[in-house]
Amino acid sequence: MTGARLDGRVALVTGGGQGVGRGIALALAKEGASVLIAGRTLAKCRTVADEITAFGGAAAAIACDVTQRSDIEAAITATVAQFGGLDALINNAQSANQRLLLETTDSDIQLAYRSGPLATFYGMHAAYPHLVARGGGSIVNFGSSTAIEGNATFGSYAMAKEAIRGLSRVAAREWGRDGIRVNVVVPAALSPTAEAFRDARPETYQKQINRIPLRRMGDAEDDIGRAVVALVSDDLHYMTGETMMLTGGA
């Protein structure tokens, strides 16, 4: 991978065992980054790590429940121990239940917050000294178009995702002097959840596709992953505190 855009850089991707996280991990590795793939299901993370090593990339896997601060800190420590440092943190993991507001419970909100903004906050805290030690770096967090639009049944998820965007803007301003850039990606990608929805409700799914000017869902690697590569690389080194909409124009 010598000569690639991210040659010599190290990234940690949470929720990297499937979907958007897998696509990002593959895209980063193909540009030369060493990638630690973290997720609740270690077998899935190992499968992605094996995909990367099969094409000559550097990758490792670790079990990580992002609702547990100790797991996130252990993943950061493992990344530095395995690859000698940390240049990029990709806070992709998120869990949530989908219900109408009048049916949303405290448990729903706690799940969305613990796996979303709190997990993102913990990861950023743990990553900070390692990013500073490398002269700065890039943090990529994740928002959602369902939160920006205010889609029905996404109450707890929308709350969590907009909290992440607020956290990211503050961090961009506080940590910019340290050379750390913090941006948010809002993706529309064909994740396992989207595929399940497509298979269960094909007519409704097609109506949603028809609302997208580009008339398709994004590809987890080619559309979302490659955009994250640009954020992590020097290509967008003057961008921080921003939200990158990757929704095909929707």
Average pLDDT over residues 63-70: 98
Predicted local distance difference test score (pLDDT) of residue 197? 84
pLDDT band at 87 (very low <50, low <70, confident <90, very high): very high
Average pLDDT over residues 118-140: 98
How far apart (Å, rounded) are the C-alpha atoms in residues 229 and 235?
Answer: 9
Task: Supply the DSSP string of 39-108, one letter for each residue.
Answer: ES-HHHHHHHHHHHHHTT-EEEEEE--TTSHHHHHHHHHHHHHHHS--SEEE--------B-GGG--HHH
Predicted local distance difference test score (pLDDT) of residue 214? 94
Average pLDDT over residues 19-42: 98
Residue 209 near residue 201, CB atoms below 8 Å? no
Average pLDDT over residues 23-50: 98
Q: How many CB atoms lie within 10 A of CB 163?
A: 19
Predicted local distance difference test score (pLDDT) of residue 195? 87
Q: What percent of the chain has pLDDT over 70?
A: 99
Asked whether residue 162 carries a pLDDT value surpassing 90, the answer given is yes
Predicted local distance difference test score (pLDDT) of residue 3? 66
Asked whether residue 119 carries a pLDDT value surpassing 90, the answer given is yes
Predicted local distance difference test score (pLDDT) of residue 196? 86
pLDDT band at 192 (very low <50, low <70, confident <90, very high): confident
Q: Give the closest residue to 189 by CA, choosing from 44, 37, 27.
A: 27
Predicted local distance difference test score (pLDDT) of residue 193? 81
Average pLDDT over residues 56-84: 98
Q: Give me the chain's average pLDDT, please.
A: 96
Q: What percent of the chain has pLDDT over 90?
A: 93
Q: Which of 113, 122, 128, 157 is catalytic?
A: 157
Q: Give the closest residue to 183 by CA, choosing from 200, 169, 202.
A: 169
Of residues 133 and 190, which shows the higher confidence score? 133
Residue 53 near residue 87, CB atoms below 8 Å? no
Tell me if residue 157 is catalytic: yes
How far apart (Å, rounded) are the C-alpha atoms in residues 78 and 17?
Answer: 17
Predicted local distance difference test score (pLDDT) of residue 6? 98
**Can you name the CATH fold of 10-246?**
Rossmann fold (3.40.50)
Q: Give the closest residue to 163 by CA, choosing from 55, 247, 91, 89.
A: 91
Predicted local distance difference test score (pLDDT) of residue 1? 58
Predicted local distance difference test score (pLDDT) of residue 194? 84
Q: Give the closest residue to 131 by CA, choosing from 171, 184, 185, 187.
A: 171
Average pLDDT over residues 171-192: 95
pLDDT band at 210 (very low <50, low <70, confident <90, very high): very high
Average pLDDT over residues 195-214: 91
pLDDT band at 89 (very low <50, low <70, confident <90, very high): very high
